[in-house]
Structure 1
Amino acid sequence: MKKIIYSLFFLALFSSCGQNETQETAQKDETPTQMYFNGEILTMETDEVVYVEAVVEQEGKIVFVGSQKDAEEKYGNAKKIDLKGKTMLPGFIDPHSHFGMVSNTMGQVDLNPAPVGDVNNIPAIMEKMKQYKADNNIPDGEWIYGWGYDDGQLEEKRHPNKRELDAVLPNNPVYLQHTSGHMGVANSAALAKFDVTAESKNPDGGNIEHFPNSTEPTGLVQETAMYPFVEKMMGVMAAAQAEHFGTTQDYYAANGITTAHDGMTGRSTIQFYQDQADAGKMKIDLVVLAGYSELEDNINDSTLVFKEYKNGFKTQGTKIVADGSPQGKTAFFTKPFLTEVPGCAHQCRGLPSLTQEALDKLFLTAYDNNNQLFIHCNGDATVDMIMKAHENACEELNHPLDKDRRTIIIHAQFSRQDQLEKFVEYNMQPSFFTNHAYFWGDVHVENLGKERADFLSPMATSIKLGLKPTNHSDATVTPIDPIFTIWSAVNRISRSGKIIGENERVTPYQAIQAITSNAAYELYDEDLKGTLTKGKLADFVILDKNPLKVEAGSIKDIQVVETVKEGKSVYLRE
């Protein structure tokens, strides 16, 4: 009798377990699931090219990567999304741009030359500025901003000056931001706002240009001398942040980007971004870098958490600006420029933005607090300064030189071979800017000579050394366009059609790694995104053609068809 009772008990128990399993399976099957198939699905998981037949998304994450047959057997109820031969990649990760500045340009006059804009001479700049005031009924006394002018692409081959601006806008303070983001031109009303006069001295790391044989400022302010004007501009534009926040995300998403970047962000803007994220307004992820002038305050602020996402937003680390712009002739080199440099008579090697002592202190503070550093650096003399600051901090803190802290050298454009080898030894990573080969490659040959120009953003050499370089747009310096960034890394062709550094061309696959898997690594996100791997976020970009299979010169013509963030479409090409 007892045996019968025990048998009935276990039968009921197993029956109950079976029912629970069936219920759990049914419940799982009812979870919204999507299967992507019938396309060229590139996982980017290794240094070898790997395609799979299907990827399955569930609740914002990748739950399957493999054959279509296995996907259908395991997820038979999944919504099937036929790629129809298109190419699917991990969503593009922006290694470095300026989300806030991109947003701010929506309230400024576009002064870019072709192919971004249509301004080719100084009279055209003046006409656009004058027309903007009239079209927008801007009253006298209100600031007016323009952005993107490039003296190297103007017919006059020079910067505009305050006299020209005064002639068309005498009653408004005006500031024109150079395409490099490292200088600008102010009119008389704007200069007066910040007491820039004939008696003004150059600030450390900056330059106030004067008319020839005169102490009168031309209006051109470079590097640290421009900071007051830029800070004012950011303050004026802040009022429209909320208005343009969604539009700016849409712009990034339309270019296949699922993780955007803001390369230097003030505390108030960081709080604004977090408020937007907490209100559920993030369509894509946004990663920002705090400014170095507030490093100690940021570290001591318990409300500012580094390296952790909260509702799609995180503050990753700290941005240091260590020198200027190579095309603007303010980057800091060991050898001089070969052409005339404004405000310099001889041995003109550019400007470090910080003293070695100041840079040393920043590194020491950051390393002592496990705060990731991203250092803007273009010239090789600045790289030398960075190496010294790194060595000093490690020695004082008794840290290994190769500790995994992922110090990122932003741009690193004219790093020498020996410096790249130091990056390997010190476990640093470069974030290159190969778009320069197109936009300013010809200018670099003229200003720096062919040997230095050809080693611009040396991606191929870095990869051979075992580094994981990323590659960026630095928008607004060049447009947000990862496809163009891939093209520029593969082709390195200038405006005039010259190849700038043939030996530094990379494969299309390596160029894609720079904005997917390598970019995830740069941001400590390698376990979260950057490859099509089970368990990672379902962040995808779908392209009309495969960058690995089209002719190299036509890569830039590839179109983003759709961008998917955690399983949800955030951009669909009409």
Structure 2
Amino acid sequence: MRHRRRLGGPVTLELAAHQRCLDAGRLKVRTRLMPTVAGLHSVRGTDDDGIDLGLDLGLTTGLGDDHLRIGAMKIWLDGSLIARTAAMTQDYACRCNPDHPAGYLQDDADTMRRQILAAIAGGWDIAAHAIGDAAVDFALDVFEEAASSGTQTGRRPRHRIEHAGITSDSQITRMARLDVTPVPQMRFLREFGDDMATSMGPERAKLLYRHKSFLDAGLRVPGSSDRPVAEGAPLLAMATMQDRLSESGVVLGPDERVDAVTALRAYTVDAAWIARDEDRRGALTPGRLADLVVLDTDISRAAPEDVAATTVLATVLDGLATHDTGIGLPVAPPPA
């Protein structure tokens, strides 16, 4: 079912990635599955098709429907800043991981390189988990190799770097040149920012999750939570995009703050785009799916603390309410 909806009264928000709707205790979802690299195996059809890694029947990114679809292939290139295992170009300032003072890659570099190139040749978009700047360099090297060698075929890829936790100016410029999208988790700054800043030191702490710098380079910045590692509520993440406050109240990277409308765009237009759903979701216009939430606050004008405190009055999936606090919207029928 598709409906036309107009903004008016309480502001509406479409959660384009991983839409979750409550219906009488049941969880309805619009989900993009990301197969991990370990789940792929040889699916060669002919000697000259160029395809090596995939899923049975040659399934790749994009298979599915509006409720369940296969997304990008996920590969972990490094660890995390929380555990000081993210692969860095310099040692951690805290000197708290003596066995690996600059973190490390998760697997043999050439093995991961071959896996990524083979998956790209098979038609997959790649979601490369890379938090440290050394891992980001590695991901960009492989993406550039794929682009220059003709490995990627067919439609223009939408490769992304999941997290992009520490990035330099030159890396951001390179992302833009290669059309690689960063997918940072801004709520990390509130929940883990103090610890991350300590492990990075004052100079490199400025390079954490550089939202505005990504945008200034012409990149999209989709909203993401990495739930359950951090709180998954989009409204909380949007508040952190605006204030960048750590739990102790320190502003981490004040020049990287964005305004309310930009934060809203991250969880609507840009989240839809990275999922290749821009023709279905991301904006409330005729022809797109009627998925939205109704809020008690106009978050396009609200202060960050008010965005975080906003209440969801109703959630709509396919034009029918799956959660309603009393507005009186048409309700989805019970399951058969």
The TM-score, its normalising length taken from structure 2, stands at 0.86
Contact in 2 for aligned 1:377/1:383 (Cα 8 Å) = yes
Aligned to 1:100: none
Q: Which of residues 103, 108, 120 is equivalent to 1:355? A: 108
Aligned to 1:285: 30
Is 1:422 the equivalent of 2:174? yes
Distance 1:352 1:303, change over 3 A: closer
Aligned to 1:113: none
Report matched runs for 1:396-411 at 5 Å. 396-397=149-150, 404-411=156-163
Q: Match for 1:93: what amino acid?
A: A
After superposing the two structures, state which structure 1 stretch, 355-364 or 529-538, moved more. 355-364
> Partner of 1:302: helix, strand, or coil?
helix
Measure the CA separation in 1 of the matches of 2:263 and 2:117.
Answer: 33
Distance 1:348 1:305, change over 3 A: closer
Q: Match for 2:167: what amino acid?
A: S
Measure the CA separation in 2 of the matches of 1:503 and 1:360.
Answer: 34
Aligned to 1:452: 204
Deviation at 1:65, TM superposition (A): 5.0
Measure the CA separation in 1 of the matches of 2:83 and 2:129.
Answer: 15
Deviation at 1:295, TM superposition (A): 2.1
Measure the CA separation in 2 of the matches of 1:308 and 1:294.
Answer: 16
Aligned to 1:331: 86
Report matched runs for 1:227-238 at 5 Å. none
Aligned to 1:374: 127
Point out where structure 2 has 5 or more consecutive residues left out of the alignment: 43-52, 327-336
Measure the CA separation in 1 of the matches of 2:227 and 2:55.
Answer: 30
Report matched runs for 1:79-158 at 5 Å. 85-89=9-13, 91-94=14-17
Contact in 2 for aligned 1:282/1:311 (Cα 8 Å) = no
Is 1:317 the equivalent of 2:72? yes
Aligned to 2:2: 61
Deviation at 1:314, TM superposition (A): 0.9
Contact in 2 for aligned 1:483/1:556 (Cα 8 Å) = yes
Deviation at 1:459, TM superposition (A): 0.8
Distance 1:353 1:398, change over 3 A: closer
After superposing the two structures, state which structure 1 stretch, 437-446 or 308-317, moved more. 308-317
Measure the CA separation in 1 of the matches of 2:16 and 2:114.
Answer: 31
Aligned to 1:512: 264
1:18-67, CA deviations, whole angstroms, 9 ceiling, x for partnerless residues? xxxxxxxxxxxxxxxxxxxxxxxxxxxxxxxxxxxxxxxxxx2134659x
Aligned to 1:228: none
Which one has more relative contact order, counting CA pairs under 8 Å at least 6 apart? 2
Is 1:522 the equivalent of 2:274? yes
1:286-313, CA deviations, whole angstroms, 9 ceiling, x for partnerless residues? 1110010122357251174531333611
Between the aligned residues of both structures, percent identity stands at: 24
Q: Which of residues 485, 507, 510 is equivalent to 2:237? A: 485
Aligned to 1:226: none
Measure the CA separation in 2 of the matches of 1:404 and 1:453.
Answer: 34
Aligned to 1:301: 56
Distance 1:416 1:543, change over 3 A: same
> Partner of 2:196: helix, strand, or coil?
helix
> Partner of 1:93: helix, strand, or coil?
coil
Contact in 2 for aligned 1:65/1:534 (Cα 8 Å) = no
Q: Match for 2:3: what amino acid?
A: I
Measure the CA separation in 2 of the matches of 1:368 and 1:398.
Answer: 5
Aligned to 2:50: none
Measure the CA separation in 2 of the matches of 1:530 and 1:390.
Answer: 27
Deviation at 1:327, TM superposition (A): 1.4
> Partner of 1:534: helix, strand, or coil?
coil
Which 4+ stretches in 1 moved above 6 angstroms? none
Q: CA RMSD in A?
A: 2.2
Aligned to 1:470: 222
Deviation at 1:480, TM superposition (A): 1.7
Measure the CA separation in 1 of the matches of 2:28 and 2:304.
Answer: 32
Q: Indicate the structure with greater strand content.
A: 1
Point out where structure 1 has 5 or more consecutive residues left out of the alignment: 1-59, 67-82, 96-248, 255-280
Contact in 2 for aligned 1:359/1:389 (Cα 8 Å) = no
Measure the CA separation in 2 of the matches of 1:527 and 1:311.
Answer: 11
Measure the CA separation in 2 of the matches of 1:367 and 1:458.
Answer: 27
Contact in 2 for aligned 1:92/1:515 (Cα 8 Å) = yes
Contact in 1 for aligned 2:193/2:247 (Cα 8 Å) = yes
Q: Which of residues 123, 137, 157 is equivalent to 1:384? A: 137
Measure the CA separation in 2 of the matches of 1:472 and 1:387.
Answer: 21
Aligned to 1:253: 21
Contact in 2 for aligned 1:360/1:393 (Cα 8 Å) = no
1:510-560, CA deviations, whole angstroms, 9 ceiling, x for partnerless residues? 111111110010010000111011111011111100112222332211111
1:456-505, CA deviations, whole angstroms, 9 ceiling, x for partnerless residues? 11110111111111121111101220000100101100111110000000
